[in-house]
Amino acid sequence: MEIALLIVSVLLIAIVLLQSNKASDASQIISGGNDALFQNQKERGVELLITRLTILLGAAFFIISFIMFIK
């Protein structure tokens, strides 16, 4: 079980690092770059896959950690 948690942890770190930087978009709102403020952008293709994989790995990490805590 520990090996599965280690693998999920490494994959989760790697997939989070692959995500696009959305913090810069938030800083544009504060600094006045409001050209994309009200633009509704949908994730497509690889970005959508990475987002869903992040959610899946996060849930797997939580479940494995919870199971290990109970034992």
Please state the pTM of the whole predicted model: 0.71
- Average pLDDT for 59-67: 97
Percent of the chain at pLDDT > 90 equals 52
User: Comparing C-alpha atoms, which of 54, 51, 46 is closest to residue 8?
Assistant: 54
28-36 long-range contacts, CB within 8 A, separation 24+: none
Length, in residues, of the chain: 71
Q: Residue ranges of the domains in the chain?
A: 1-17+43-71
- Average pLDDT for 54-59: 96
For 22-41, write each residue's pLDDT tens digit.
655 555 556 655 555 556 66
**pLDDT score of 50 more than 70:** yes
